[in-house]
C-alpha cells in the first residue's frame, strides 16, 4: 500500500505496519522509523529485538531520540532540540520515489562520534540532496558508549556464545536487516546497498564488511576517515572485560542486575569520567571489540573484504579536530607526547622530526598523528586488499573552504561531510566548493549505483593497486596523484 506520489503525507506499508511520512520538494521523507524494540529494562545489554507491529498508521514525520551521549569536550554535539533516550533504535529514509519498480541504489549512512556521541538525525546528514541524485538514503541511530559495547562477566554467563559487548554493532546489523526487508517499498533495491560512514561510522563500515552477521546485507562500502580504527580495536577482549568491571565499580553497583536498574544518564556520565581519565586516551573505551564471534581479526577477514568494492580516504589535516580533547602541544611536552603516542618508534620519530618552537612542535605532532592514524592505514588497507584482487578507490580530501580559513584547522576531520551530502552551498562556501561537492556527490552515488565511481561527466578515478598506487585528490582542482608523491 503506497499512496499516490502527489500526496504530501504519503502512507507506506512496512513489515511492522503502516507509516505516514512527508513530501517536500519532490523528496519523500520517513523519519523516526523504529527498526528495533526499545533496548530498555531487561533489554539493556542484549542484542536488539524485533519491533512490535503497531495498529493503524504510525506518523513518521519527526526524528526519534538520539542515544545517550558521552560528550568528552563538555558540550553536546547534537543539534538543538534533539532529545536523548535509551529508546533510540530509529532510522530515517529519504527517497525520490515510492515505486517498487524503481529499484534505486540504496545508501546507508553510519554516523561518527567515536562510538560515544552523534545521531543519524543531525542536520548535516539530511539526505534530500543525495536522494535528488537518484538514491534512497537511510540514516539511523545505534547504542553508544557502555550501553552499546559493555563487556562484562555477568553478560557472558547469560550469552549463548559466552561473549558479551558489541550491542551497538548488532544494532547496525539490525538496521541493515530492516533495509533488506523493507527498502523495496521506498523505491530501493535491496540487492544494491552501499554502507558508508565517517570516523566511527567508517570503522563500523569496515567491521561490517568482514562480519559474518552482516554477510549479504550490503554490497559496497565507503569509509571516510576511519583510518587505523577501521579495524577491531587493538585492546584485547580481556582488557575490555576489565573496563566493564571498572565501570561497575564507578557506579557502585553489585552487578549487571543493579546496573540495569540505573538511569541511562548515570551510566553515560560514569563512562565520560572514565574516558576523560587520560589526557590523551590511547584507545576507545566502550567501542566494538574483537570477540571472534561477530567481529574477527583483520588478518582473518581480508579475503572477505577483498570481495567488496570499497572507497576509502582521509583528510589532509585530520588531527586538528582532536585538539579540543588534548592539552596544547609545546616544545617542552612534544617528546613526551610522541613517546606516549608512538611507543618504541618514538626515538626514531623524534630524530626524524626535530622541532625548535611551540608552533613547530604543535604542527609537527598533528601532522604525525594524521599520518599515523589516518593517511598511512588507508593506503595499507588499500594495498592489502589490492594484493588480494580487491577493487579499491582511494581519495584524499584537501579543500579548505573560505569560511574555515581563519580557524587554522585546515581540512580537518569531518570537513568533507558537507560536500558529500550536498550542503557546501551556504555561508562560508563559494563556487569552487559547490563544484567540488557536485563532483563528490556524483562519484559517491555512481559508486553506489555500479560499484565504480567513474562515469560520464565525472573525474577519472583509477583503482588503487600495488602496481599503481594512485588516488584522487579532492581540492580546489581534482587530480589523480601517486602515493609516492605524498609528503614524508
Domain ranges of the chain: 11-308
Q: Which pLDDT score, from 0 to 100, does residue 281 have?
A: 44
pLDDT at 487: 56
Q: Report the pLDDT averaged over residues 142-161.
A: 94
H helix runs in 47-133, sequence order: 128-132
Q: What is the pLDDT of residue 282?
A: 44
Mean pLDDT for 347-357 is: 96
Q: Which of 111, 152, 413, 423 is the catalytic position?
A: 413
**What pLDDT is attached to residue 299?**
66
Query: Which of 97, 164, 199, 225 is the catalytic position?
Result: 199
Q: How far apart are CA 69 and CA 469, in angstroms?
A: 39
Residues 6 or more apart whose CB falls under 8 angstroms from that of 316 comprise 370, 396, 397, 398, 410, 411
The model's pLDDT over 397-440, given as tens digits with 9 standing for 90+, comes to 999 999 999 999 999 999 999 999 999 998 999 999 999 999 99
Over residues 316-345, mean pLDDT: 92
Rounded mean pLDDT, 61-67: 97
Tell me: the pLDDT tens digits for 191-250?
999 999 999 999 999 899 889 999 999 999 999 998 654 554 556 788 899 999 999 999
pLDDT band, residue 280 (cuts 50/70/90)? very low
Looking at CATH, the fold of the domain delimited by 11-308 is given as Rossmann fold (3.40.50)
pLDDT bracket for residue 79 (50, 70, 90): confident
Reply yes or no on whether 413 is catalytic: yes
Region 80-106 average pLDDT: 95
Q: Please tell me the predicted confidence (pLDDT) of residue 277.
A: 55
Q: Which residues contact 132 (CB under 8 A, 6 or more apart)?
A: 26, 27, 96, 422
Q: Calculate the average pLDDT of the chain.
A: 91
- Is there a contact between 51 and 36 (Cβ–Cβ < 8 Å)? yes
Percentage above 90 pLDDT, the chain: 76
DSSP output for 217-252:
S-SEEEEES-GGGGSPPSS-HHHHHHHHHHHHHHHT
CB neighbour list of residue 486: distance below 8 Å, 6 or more residues apart? 375
Judge whether residue 49 has pLDDT over 50: yes
pLDDT band at 37 (very low <50, low <70, confident <90, very high): very high
Q: Which of 434, 165, 425 is nearest to 295 (CA)?
A: 165
The catalytic residue among 84, 86, 318, 416 is 318
Catalytic, 156? Answer no
Give percent of the chain above pLDDT 70: 93
77 in catalytic set = no
Q: Determine the pLDDT at residue 279.
A: 45
Please state whether the predicted TM-score (pTM) of the whole model is above 0.75. Answer: yes
> Residue 320's pLDDT band (boundaries 50, 70, 90)?
very high
Distances, alpha carbon 198 to alpha carbons 257, 266, 400, 469, in Å = 35, 28, 18, 23
Q: How confident is the model at residue 467 (pLDDT cuts 50, 70, 90)?
A: confident
Amino acid at each position: 500500500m503506497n499512496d499516490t506520489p502527489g500526496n504530501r503525507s504519503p502512507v507506506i506499508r512496512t513489515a511492522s505496519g503502516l507509516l505516514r511520512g512527508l513530501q517536500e520538494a519532490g523528496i519523500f521523507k520517513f523519519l523516526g522509523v523504529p527498526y528495533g524494540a526499545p533496548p530498555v529494562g531487561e533489554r539493556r545489554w542484549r542484542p536488539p529485538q524485533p519491533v512490535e507491529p503497531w495498529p493503524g498508521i504510525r506518523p513518521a514525520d519527526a526524528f526519534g531520540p538520539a542515544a545517550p551521549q558521552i560528550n568528552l569536550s563538555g558540550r553536546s554535539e547534537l543539534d538543538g532540540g534533539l532529545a536523548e533516550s535509551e529508546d533510540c533504535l530509529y532510522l530515517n529514509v529519504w527517497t525520490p520515489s515510492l515505486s517498487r519498480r524503481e529499484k534505486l541504489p540504496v545508501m546507508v549512512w553510519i554516523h561518527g562520534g567515536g562510538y560515544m556521541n552523534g545521531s543519524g538525525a543531525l542536520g548535516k546528514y539530511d539526505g534530500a540532496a543525495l536522494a535528488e541524485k537518484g538514491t534512497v538514503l537511510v540514516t539511523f541511530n545505534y547504542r553508544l558508549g557502555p550501553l552499546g559495547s559493555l563487556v562484562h562477566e555477568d553478560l557472558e554467563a547469560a550469552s549463548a556464545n559466552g561473549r558479551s559487548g558489541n550491542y551497538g554493532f548488532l544494532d547496525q546489523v539490525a538496521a541493515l536487516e530492516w533495509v533488506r526487508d523493507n527498502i523495496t517499498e521506498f523505491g530501493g533495491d535491496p540487492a544494491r546497498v552501499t554502507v558508508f560512514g565517517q570516523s566511527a561510522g567508517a570503522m563500523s563500515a569496515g567491521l561490517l564488511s568482514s562480519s559474518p552477521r552482516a554477510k549479504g546485507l550490503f554490497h559496497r562500502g565507503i569509509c571516510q576517515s576511519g583510518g587505523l580504527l577501521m579495524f577491531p580495536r587493538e585492546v584485547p577482549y580481556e582488557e575490555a572485560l576489565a573496563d566493564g568491571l571498572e565501570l561497575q565499580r564507578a557506579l557502585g553497583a553489585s552487578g549487571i542486575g543493579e546496573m540495569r536498574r540505573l538511569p541511562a544518564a548515570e551510566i553515560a556520565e560514569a563512562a565520560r569520567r572514565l574516558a576523560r581519565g587520560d589526557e590523551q586516551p590511547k584507545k576507545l573505551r566502550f567501542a566494538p571489540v574483537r570477540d571472534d564471534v561477530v567481529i574477527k581479526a583483520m588478518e582473518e577477514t581480508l579475503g572477505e573484504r577483498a570481495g567488496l568494492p570499497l572507497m576509502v580516504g582521509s583528510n589532509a589535516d585530520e588531527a586538528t579536530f582532536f585538539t579540543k580533547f588534548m592539552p596544547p602541544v609545546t616544545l617542552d611536552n612534544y617528546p613526551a607526547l610522541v613517546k606516549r603516542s608512538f611507543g618504541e618508534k618514538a626515538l626514531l620519530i623524534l630524530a626524524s622530526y626535530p622541532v625548535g618552537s611551540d608552533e613547530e612542535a604543535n604542527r609537527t605532532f598533528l601532522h604525525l598523528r594524521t599520518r599515523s592514524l589516518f593517511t598511512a592505514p588507508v593506503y595499507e588497507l588499500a594495498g592489502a586488499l589490492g594484493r588480494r584482487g580487491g577493487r579499491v578507490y582511494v581519495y584524499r580530501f584537501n579543500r579548505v573552504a573560505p569560511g574555515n580559513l581563519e580557524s587554522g584547522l585546515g581540512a580537518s576531520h569531518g570537513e568533507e561531510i558537507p560536500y558529500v551530502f550536498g550542503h557546501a552551498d551556504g555561508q562560508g562556501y563559494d563556487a569552487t566548493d559547490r563544484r567540488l561537492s557536485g563532483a563528490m556527490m556524483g562519484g559517491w552515488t555512481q559508486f553506489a549505483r555500479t560499484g565504480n565511481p567513474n562515469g560520464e561527466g565525472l573525474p577519472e578515478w583509477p583503482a588503487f593497486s600495488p602496481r599503481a598506487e594512485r588516488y584522487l585528490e579532492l581540492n580546489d582542482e581534482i587530480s589523480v596523484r601517486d602515493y609516492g608523491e605524498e609528503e614524508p
